[in-house]
Chains A and B, each alone.
Chain A
């Protein structure tokens, strides 16, 4: 008789995309590299302008999926407008159905007034009460009030009507400048939730250079996000 150890861990999907401070991009890409996750595919979104990246001669899609054991990741290197955010959310939903994903964790940034305080916090927003225990066990305060727009809002809107719960981790950050320091807090929180060990020394060493390197993506992200801001506010002027 063969005894097979049953895998009791649920499939979890992490999602990262450009948003405030690029916290999601920094955190999720660092996790992919640190855990040596394997790329398992690319996510295609209808209407997404043809964009490909070339890295050391290799053609890379801007939206990719990775996997290791029960952990799945979808990461996008391009920001989404409202229309594309909805298409992206649908693509994430399809991915979840195909891979029997039981919960989703999104990492994003939250604008904080006091940028100078040392103890940057991370807040959690959940779509289903079943994830309350993750917040409680990891001492993550609940995000209690505020407004959400952009890709995270689109994903929440889709999944709150399904049986797949979503936890959005909002790290306090500078919303308009790349903030790798805020992402270190997010990486630490993710590591606790996922019960994995992640050494953040490498990203700590590169903070200043990442802030310079990611200026273009930050700028593109802000322009895309500002198109989605509630229309009750003054229109944006670029100069």
Chain B
């Protein structure tokens, strides 16, 4: 169900999960909402402290890495895997305006506001 006060311009993009058991890396859930002049990228990072999060970016990709406060164990088919990190890269559908990226971390959720680089030329109306 959605409230009537919807505000994003498109549906959020949910990314696929690929855990890397060999390197003890979990893929966090993330969603990307697209607005007129920015993207809002959210990561679900439970069991993580703010000081253990590293965010990097290039022209159109955001990378997030985080160390878990405690190891997370998962059992599949009798094998126990212990995970220690979250790691994920998100390719954005456009270029980033890198001077104004803002990140907030609250209750295990990381929110990154990413301004879009506006390109193009004005068309004169005659």
Is B truly associated with A? yes
Interface residue ranges, A against B (CB under 8 Å): 20, 108-113, 115-116, 143, 145-150, 152, 170, 174-178, 207-209, 211-213, 215-216, 218-219, 222-223, 226, 229, 233-234, 236-239
A221 to chain B, nearest CB (A): 10
Bound state CA distance, A134 and B37, in angstroms?
45
Contact B26 A212 (CB under 8 A): yes
Bound state CA distance, A149 and B2, in angstroms?
9
Stretch of B6-14, B94-102, B113-121 that contacts chain A: B6-14
Contact partners of A229 in chain B: CB under 8 A:
11
Contact partners of B74 in chain A: CB under 8 A:
213
Contact partners of B16 in chain A: CB under 8 A:
219, 238-239
Contact A148 B1 (CB under 8 A): yes
Interface string of B34-74 (1 = CB under 8 A from A): 00000000101011000000000000000000000000101
Classify the interface of chain B: helix, strand, loop or mixed. loop
Residues from 75 to 89 in B contacting A, C-beta threshold 8 Å:
none
Question: Which residue on A lies nearest to B90, using beta carbons?
Answer: A239
With A113-B3, A113-B7, A148-B1 already in contact, the answer to whether A209 and B13 are too (CB < 8 A) is: no
Question: Which residue on A lies nearest to B107, using beta carbons?
Answer: A116
Bound state CA distance, A229 and B12, in angstroms?
12
Contact partners of A208 in chain B: CB under 8 A:
46-47, 108
Contact B46 A223 (CB under 8 A): no
Q: A176-B29, A212-B26 given. 15 additional CB < 8 A pairs? A: A20-B1, A110-B3, A111-B2, A174-B109, A175-B2, A177-B29, A177-B44, A211-B46, A213-B74, A215-B27, A219-B16, A222-B14, A229-B11, A234-B10, A239-B13
Contact B26 A226 (CB under 8 A): no
Contact B13 A236 (CB under 8 A): yes
With A176-B29, A218-B29 already in contact, the answer to whether A236 and B11 are too (CB < 8 A) is: yes
Indicate the size class of the contact surface on chain B: 20 to 34
Contact B13 A238 (CB under 8 A): yes
A174 to chain B, nearest CB (A): 7
Q: Which of B9, B13, B29, B93 has the most CB of A within 10 A?
A: B29
Q: List 10 A-B contacts (CB under 8 A).
A: A109-B1, A113-B7, A146-B2, A177-B42, A177-B109, A209-B46, A215-B26, A218-B29, A234-B9, A234-B11
Contact partners of A177 in chain B: CB under 8 A:
29, 31, 42, 44, 109
The 9 closest A-B pairs by CB, nearest first: A208-B46, A211-B46, A177-B44, A176-B31, A234-B10, A208-B47, A110-B1, A222-B14, A148-B1
Contact A239 B72 (CB under 8 A): no
B111 to chain A, nearest CB (A): 9
Question: Which residue on A lies nearest to B3, using beta carbons?
Answer: A146
Bound state CA distance, A63 and B110, in angstroms?
34
Contact partners of B13 in chain A: CB under 8 A:
236-239
